[in-house]
Structure 1
Amino acid sequence: MATTSARALELLSLLTTRWTTDDLATRFHVSTRTIRRDIDTLRTLGYPIEATKGPDATYRLAGGKLPPLLFDDEQALAVAVALQTAPTTVSGTTTAAARALSTIKQIMPAHLRAQAEALDLTTIGNYWDFPAPTVAPATLAAVGAAIRDRHLLDLEHLTPDGNRPEPGPPARVAPHHLVHWAGRWYLVAHDGDWTIHRLDRIHPRGPTGLTFHRRELPEDVAHYVMTTADRGDTTPTWPCLGAATLDLPADIVARFAPGGSVVEHLAPGRTRLTLGAWSWAGIAGLLGTFDTDLTDLRPHELRQACHTLAARYQAAIKPA
Structure 2
Amino acid sequence: MTDTPARLLNLLSLLQTPREWPGSELATRLSVSARTIRRDVDRLRELGYPVEATKGAVGGYRLVAGTAMPPLVLDDEEAVAIAVGLRAGAGHAIEGVEEASVRALAKLEQVLPSRLRRRVSTLQNATIPLTRGDGATVAPQTLTTLAGAVTGQERLRFGYRAGDGTESRRLVEPYRLVSTGMRWYLVAYDMEREDWRTFRVDRVSEPFATGARFSPRELPAGGAVAYMSRSMARATTELDLDVDFEAPAEFVTARLPPHLAPESTGAGTCRLRTRSADSLEWVALRLALVDCPFRIHAPDPLIAYVRALSARLGAAASG
TM-score, normalised by the number of residues in structure 1: 0.42
Which protein shows a greater Rg?
Answer: 1
